[in-house]
Amino acid sequence: MSDSIVTAMDLTKRYRRSAVPAVDGMSFAFDEGETIGLLGPNGAGKTSLIKMMCGVTAPTSGQIRVFGADPVHEPVAAKNGIGAMHQSGSFDEMLSVQDNLQIAARFRGVTWRAARPWALEFADYLGLTAALPRLVFQLSGGQRQRLQLIRALLTIPRLLILDEPSAGLDVAGRRDVERFVRWLRDDHGVTVLWTSHHIDELERNCQRILVIDKGRVMRFAPPRELVREFGSAHLVVTVDDDVAAKVVVEWAETAGFTATATGADVRIEGAVARDILPPLSRACQDADVAISGISTVTDSLEQVFLRMTTRTDSSTTTTGSRA
């Protein structure tokens, strides 16, 4: 489609020494201005997919297009609008932060005069201004992550690839990155592809999640839709103390449920209140246990992801959805 930033059609990548493809027939499209979460267990094909997107390696078969161009055969058209922040990147440790940014601008074909206002604005936004004159080897891990992000944004890209951008950051730092990415999307229309082990931040910030496993697209849908499709509701029963909680756990397990206690709260997996409350209430009354609260909770995206990627049946695999 004309408004798609990235499209893949039956994209496949095989490596010589591997019996199975790293990427196996993926099809999907990213719309302009979307923030896309890329989720998959180790070995799912995330790195191979990103390499093909950036033109680092060519597909074995199928097609991938970035801004309508082939990243391998039309590198200028495909790569000029991409900014990428990787998990680790090399810096000149004995140069200052600002000197490293100047060198990066030169490699991007941008004058420091043009890049400097953006770099300083981003440094201020991410709390790195005071570190600009410092040598890179003096930076903390979190400061290095912020520097990686600034380096990827010396010009505003059309597509920003974020590979674990919050690694090494504390909670406040993670929220700074999230606000920054939302600003890029909302104010500048940047399309973002975001990988993270902090699945909660993808759930908060991404319009759609591309879930892959064993080189295949499992689902490509909004987080809420994934939770509706693969998640479950659970009952949380609150009693007076952990001793009473053990009574509830024992009853639930006898009734065929999986139950876990956290203090005075007992989580009963997959239980429906209207079905379980009458017999549970009778059992608690017989054991002289008082129920002080009942609530229903649903699975998080992280729990859904774990459930999806531990399934073995092929029915969870699908081609790229535009849900």
What is the CB-side half-sphere exposure of residue 122 using CA atoms within 13 A?
A: 25
Q: Provide the mean pLDDT of the chain.
A: 88
Backbone φ/ψ region at 299: left (φ over 0), alpha (ψ -120 to 50), beta: beta
pLDDT recorded at residue 315: 44
Confidence (pLDDT) at 319: 42
Decide: helix, strand or coil at residue 6: strand
Judge if 273 and 220 occupy the same domain: no
At residue 18 the predicted structure's pLDDT band, cuts being 50, 70 and 90, is confident
Tell me, yes or no, whether 180 and 284 share the same domain: no
Decide if 268 is inside a domain.
Answer: yes
The answer on 69 and 161 residing in a single domain is: yes
The predicted structure's pLDDT at residue 316: 44
Per-residue pLDDT band at 314 (split at 50, 70, 90):
very low
pLDDT at 1 over 50: no
pTM: 0.79
What single string gives the DSSP state of each residue in 41-54? Answer: -TTSSHHHHHHHHT
198 lies in the same domain as 283: no
Q: Cβ–Cβ contacts within 10 Å for residue 69, how many?
A: 18
Alpha-carbon dihedral angle through residues 40, 43, 45, 47, given to the nearest 10 degrees? 100
Q: Which domain holds residue 39?
A: 4-81+157-228
Is 176's pLDDT higher than 50? yes
Whether residue 282 sits in one domain with residue 165? no
- CATH number, residue 255: 3.30.70.2470
pLDDT at 224 over 80: yes
pLDDT of residue 141: 82
* Same-domain status, 73 and 10: yes
For residue 9, give the CATH number of its domain. 3.40.50.300
Q: Can you tell me which residue has the tokens 């397990």?
A: 253
Q: How confident is the model at residue 79 (pLDDT cuts 50, 70, 90)?
A: confident
Is 130 a domain residue?
no
Q: State which amino acid sits at residue 318.
A: T
Note whether 210 and 240 are same-domain residues: no
Same domain, 197 and 246: no
Last-in-domain residue among 228, 259, 287? 228
Task: Please tell me the total count of domains within the chain.
Answer: 2
Co-location of 73 and 179 in the same domain: yes
Q: Does 234 have pLDDT greater than 60?
A: yes
Instruction: Report d(CA 189, CA 192) in Å as an integer.
Output: 9
In whole angstroms, what is the distance from residue 59 CA to residue 183 CA? Answer: 33
Region of poorest pLDDT, from 28-32, 97-101, 122-126, 208-212: 122-126
On the question of pLDDT at 10 being above 80, the answer is yes
In the chain, % of residues over pLDDT 90: 57
Q: What is the mean pLDDT of residues 161-178?
A: 85
Span 123-151, average pLDDT: 89
